[in-house]
């Protein structure tokens, strides 16, 4: 009896902990998205799944789907091919300033796509220095931009795994006669596989749901599931088709998450992270070094172009574009100066950060408590995956969903000023959960038991055992959440109120208004955003916690 009572109260406690995050995700994600999908399935108020199925038979949908899959797959493959040697160079070799480089690599990840579009166009566009590559308006251009965005995910996840990899199995293999290449293939690669697969699946998700990049780089010649949903929803109001594609997207996302979860199950790292000392650079590292240089070039050139553009006024160097950030631009293109927007951005990001941290921590705690039964473990697994879903859903669907579902009491929330930070927090949540879960999961439950046996209450045990282990990853997670929120554009642009825009929104507006000043200011604002991001990332880098790709 007592035993059963104990189990019950344990379940109740966990359920109570899970309640808040589940409720938030249900209200701000499940409800809006299913609301939009329902509009597609019930077009005139009556259930018509046939109409949705018909959409899936359209040849255009097949083309779009095929292009989405192969472009994302190629971009993922390329990101892995470039990312792995780069991870080796930046995480295993003794290179001066490597932590700065690692932080800088993450900048693209949070740059708004509009900005990246501008940078890529300046570079690869007809008038750019790399126009001869003929990338603009080609699938290759889209793929290059996708790699630009995502290569850091691979570098980070694989690099962190590599860094904490015990090097002795490799040495044992070498001593048994394995050449460096054989060591890599038979020992190192299998050990990196979990990190690699999960990074790749995240990158694939990001690529498959990319939106702005496809529009700006593809020059409308190419359509992906994401851009198609956007067009169907905003231009054609063909909600049936949009719903069909959204469902398709969700199915793919869930499938990928399952694959990622399976590979994640392979034990790796844990908390007992050993950091292998960096090695001296040797001649045989030359191939890796050249790939890494190429990666840096790929990431550095567009950013460099951006910086150069922001410092140029009428063909000569000037800081005027930055000075003008305190103004509203030519002809009052903006309602508030860019500096105000930066303030809003920072405050919003702060809110998004603590929201995602609170939710993420709760989720992580619930997910990592040791399961006493298989059913319990399965529920936890589902919960874990549930919070990854926002990664794979179109911002347009979510944005429209907000408008049509959160419009009446008790959920009359669409006018709430907290909507923007909450939406951003949802985007950042997977990053937070993925950063904290491995750490919490790595804590030996016996430590808590030891604490309890010494007289610590459950809360006290958490404070003694979990908190010390988790505070660094938590700070790192907040850095990621902060940066992700700073750069978030899709959902934000949909929800933001004109008097309180964030920097990406302001950049978009500046680009949308004629006048050379506005264009220069947009570049300068992008540079400020990138620099802010880089600083946050550098701070995170100092904490030495792996994340992002750890899904």
Partner 1 sequence: MAELKQAAALSVRGLTVAYDGQDAVDDVSLDLPAGEVLAVLGPSGCGKSTLLRAIAGLEEPESGSILFDGADLVGVPTHRRGFALMFQDGQLFGHQSVAENVGYPLRLRRTPRTEVRARVAELLELVGLPDHADRRPDTLSGGERQRVALARALAVSPRLLLLDEPLSALDKTLRERLAAELRDILATAGTTALLVTHDHDEAFTVAGRMALMRAGRIVQEGPIEEVWAQPADPDAARFLGYARVLDGAAADRVLTTAGLPTGAAVALRRSALTVSDDGPLAGIVVASRVTPEQLRLEVDVPDLGVLDAVAPLGTHTAGAGEQVRLNVDRTRLAAIPVD
Partner 2 sequence: MLRVRLSSTHGAADPPNLIRLAPAKGVTMYHPARALAALASLALTGSLLGCSTMGGDDDKSADESGSGSTTVKLVTHDSFALPEDLQAKFEKDSGLQLEILASGDAGAVTNKLVLTKDSPIGDVAFGVDNTFASRPVDEGVFEEYAAKLPAGADQYVLEDIGDHLTPIDNANVCVNIDTGYFEKLKLPEPETLDDLAKPVYRGRFVVPGAATSSPGMAFLLTTIAEYGDDWPAYWAKLMDNDTLLVDGWESAYQGEFSQGGGKGKRPIVLSYDTSPAFTVDEAGTSSTTKALLHTCFPQTEYAGVLAGADNPEGARALIDFLLSPEVQAALPDSMYVFPVDENVELPATWAKFAVQPTDPHTVDPAEIAENREQWLTEWRDVTTR
> Which parts of 159-178 interact with partner 1 (CB under 8 A)?
166, 168-169, 171-178
Between 173 and 200, whose beta carbon lies closer to partner 1? Answer: 173
User: 517, 324 in Cβ contact below 8 A?
Assistant: yes
Residues 6+ apart with CB under 8 A from 51: 40, 43, 240
Between 303 and 334, whose beta carbon lies closer to partner 2? Answer: 334
203-262 residues near partner 2, rule: CB under 8 A: 215-216, 219-223, 231, 233-238
Q: CB 455 → partner 2: shortest distance, Å?
A: 17
172 binds, options partner 2, partner 1, none, Cβ within 5 to 8 A by partner type:
partner 1
Distances (CA, A) of 342 to 304, 419, 532: 22, 18, 10
Q: CB 549 → partner 1: shortest distance, Å?
A: 20
272 binds, options partner 1, partner 2, none, Cβ within 5 to 8 A by partner type:
partner 2
With CB under 8 A as the contact rule, the residue among 180, 255, 270, 458 that binds partner 1 is 180
173 binds, options partner 1, partner 2, none, Cβ within 5 to 8 A by partner type:
partner 1
Which of 322, 325, 318 has its CA nearest to residue 342? 325
Binding-site string for partner 2 from residue 312 to residue 351, where x marks contact by CB under 8 A and - marks none: ----------------x--xxxxx-----------xx-xx
**In angstroms, rounded to a whole number, what is the distance separating the alpha carbons of residues 345 and 529?**
10
Between 84 and 217, whose beta carbon lies closer to partner 2? Answer: 217
Q: CB 430 → partner 2: shortest distance, Å?
A: 20
User: 547, 434 in Cβ contact below 8 A?
Assistant: yes
Tokens coding 102:
């690692």
Binding-site string for partner 2 from residue 25 to residue 64, where x marks contact by CB under 8 A and - marks none: --------------x--------------------x----
Q: CB 175 → partner 1: shortest distance, Å?
A: 3
**In angstroms, rounded to a whole number, what is the distance separating the alpha carbons of residues 444 and 451?**
12
Q: CB 158 → partner 2: shortest distance, Å?
A: 21
Residues 44/46/49/55 CA torsion (nearest 10 deg): -10
Between 349 and 379, whose beta carbon lies closer to partner 2? Answer: 349
**In angstroms, rounded to a whole number, what is the distance separating the alpha carbons of residues 122 and 103?**
24
Q: CB 170 → partner 1: shortest distance, Å?
A: 9
Interface with partner 2 by CB under 8 A: which range of 77-85, 177-185, 424-432, 501-509?
501-509
177 binds, options partner 2, partner 1, none, Cβ within 5 to 8 A by partner type:
partner 1
Helix or strand holding residue 475 (H, E): helix 467-487
423 binds, options partner 2, partner 1, none, Cβ within 5 to 8 A by partner type:
none
**In angstroms, rounded to a whole number, what is the distance separating the alpha carbons of residues 82 and 420?**
35
Which of 56, 66, 420 has its CA nearest to residue 246? 56
Q: Is residue 128 within the footprint of partner 2 (CB under 8 A)? A: yes
150-169 residues near partner 2, rule: CB under 8 A: 166-168
Long-range contacts of 320-326 (CB under 8 A, 24+ apart): 320/520, 321/517, 321/520, 321/521, 321/523, 321/524, 322/524, 322/527, 322/528, 324/517, 324/520, 324/521, 324/524, 325/521, 325/524, 325/525, 325/528
182 binds, options partner 2, partner 1, none, Cβ within 5 to 8 A by partner type:
partner 1
Interface with partner 2 by CB under 8 A: which range of 49-57, 150-158, 374-382, 461-469?
461-469
120-139 residues near partner 1, rule: CB under 8 A: none
Tokens coding 345:
């951005």
Between 247 and 475, whose beta carbon lies closer to partner 2? Answer: 475
Tokens coding 23:
């409720």
Between 137 and 300, whose beta carbon lies closer to partner 2? Answer: 137
180 binds, options partner 1, partner 2, none, Cβ within 5 to 8 A by partner type:
partner 1
270-299 residues near partner 1, rule: CB under 8 A: 277
Exposure class string for 153-162: b at 16+ Cβ within 10 A, else e: bbbbbbbbbb
Number of residues that bind partner 1 (CB under 8 A): 20
Q: Is residue 515 within the footprint of partner 2 (CB under 8 A)? A: yes
Q: CB 263 → partner 1: shortest distance, Å?
A: 12
Q: Is residue 475 within the footprint of partner 2 (CB under 8 A)? A: yes
Interface with partner 1 by CB under 8 A: which range of 112-120, 179-187, 350-358, 376-384?
179-187
Q: Is residue 196 within the footprint of partner 1 (CB under 8 A)? A: no
Q: Scan for tokens 């790192």, then name that residue.
A: 476
**In angstroms, rounded to a whole number, what is the distance separating the alpha carbons of residues 201 and 197?**
6
CB atoms within 10 A of CB 46: 7
Q: Is residue 26 within the footprint of partner 1 (CB under 8 A)? A: no
- The conformation of residue 387, written as its DSSP 8-state character, comes to T
User: 425, 63 in Cβ contact below 8 A?
Assistant: no
The distance of Cα 286 from the centroid of its chain, to the nearest Å, equals 31
Which of 423, 480, 418, 442 has its CA nearest to residue 364? 442
386-405 residues near partner 2, rule: CB under 8 A: 400, 403-404
User: 322, 339 in Cβ contact below 8 A?
Assistant: no
Binding site for partner 1 (CB under 8 A): 166, 168-169, 171-180, 182-183, 186-187, 190-191, 277
């Amino acid at each position: 009896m007592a035993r059963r009572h104990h189990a019950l109260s344990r379940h109740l406690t966990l359920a109570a902990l899970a309640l808040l995050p589940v409720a938030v995700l249900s209200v701000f994600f499940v409800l809006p998205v299913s609301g939009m999908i329902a509009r597609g399935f019930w077009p005139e108020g009556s259930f018509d799944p046939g109409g949705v199925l018909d959409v899936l038979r359209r040849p255009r949908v097949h083309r779009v789907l095929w292009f989405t899959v192969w472009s994302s797959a190629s971009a993922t493959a390329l990101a892995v091919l470039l990312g792995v040697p780069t991870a080796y160079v930046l995480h295993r070799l003794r290179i001066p300033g490597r932590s700065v480089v690692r932080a800088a690599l993450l900048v693209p990840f949070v740059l708004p796509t509009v900005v990246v579009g501008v940078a890529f166009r300046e570079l690869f566009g007809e008038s750019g220095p790399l126009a001869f590559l003929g990338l603009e308006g080609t699938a290759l251009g889209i793929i290059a931009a996708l790699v630009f965005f995502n290569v850091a995910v691979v570098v980070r996840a694989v690099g962190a795994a590599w860094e904490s990899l015990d090097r002795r199995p490799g040495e044992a293999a070498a001593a048994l006669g394995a050449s460096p290449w054989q060591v890599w293939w038979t020992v190192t690669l299998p050990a990196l596989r979990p990190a690699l697969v999960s990074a790749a699946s995240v990158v694939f998700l990001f690529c498959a749901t990319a939106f702005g990049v496809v529009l700006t780089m593809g020059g409308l010649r190419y359509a992906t599931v994401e851009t198609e949903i956007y067009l169907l929803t905003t231009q054609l109001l063909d909600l049936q088709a949009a719903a069909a594609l959204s469902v398709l997207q969700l199915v793919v996302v869930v499938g990928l998450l399952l694959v990622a979860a399976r590979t994640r199950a392979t034990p790796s790292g844990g908390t007992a992270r050993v950091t292998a000392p960096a090695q001296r650079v040797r001649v045989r590292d030359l191939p890796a070094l050249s790939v890494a240089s190429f990666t840096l070039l790929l990431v550095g050139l567009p950013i460099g172009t951006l910086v150069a553009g922001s410092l140029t006024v009428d063909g000569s160097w000037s800081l005027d574009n930055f000075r003008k950030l305190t103004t509203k631009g030519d002809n009052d293109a903006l309602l508030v100066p860019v500096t105000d927007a930066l303030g809003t951005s920072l405050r919003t990001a702060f809110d998004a950060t603590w929201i995602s941290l609170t939710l993420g921590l709760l989720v992580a705690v619930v997910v990592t408590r040791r399961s006493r039964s298989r059913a319990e473990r399965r529920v936890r697994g589902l919960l874990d995956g549930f919070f990854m879903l926002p990664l794979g859903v179109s911002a347009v669907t979510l944005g429209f969903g907000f408008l049509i579902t959160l419009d009446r009491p008790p959920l009359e929330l669409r006018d709430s000023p907290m909507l923007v930070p909450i939406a951003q927090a949802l985007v950042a949540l997977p990053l937070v959960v993925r950063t904290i879960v491995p750490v919490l999961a790595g804590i030996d439950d016996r430590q808590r038991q030891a604490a309890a046996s010494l007289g610590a209450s459950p809360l006290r045990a958490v404070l003694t055992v979990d908190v010390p282990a988790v505070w660094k990853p938590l700070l790192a997670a907040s850095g990621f959440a902060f940066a992700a929120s700073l750069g978030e554009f899709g959902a934000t642009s949909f929800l933001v109120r004109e008097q309180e825009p964030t920097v990406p929104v302001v950049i978009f507006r500046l680009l949308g208004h004629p006048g050379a000043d506005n264009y220069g200011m947009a570049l300068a604002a992008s540079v400020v955003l990138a620099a802010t991001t880089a600083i946050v990332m550098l701070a995170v880098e100092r904490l030495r916690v792996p994340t992002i790709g750890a899904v």
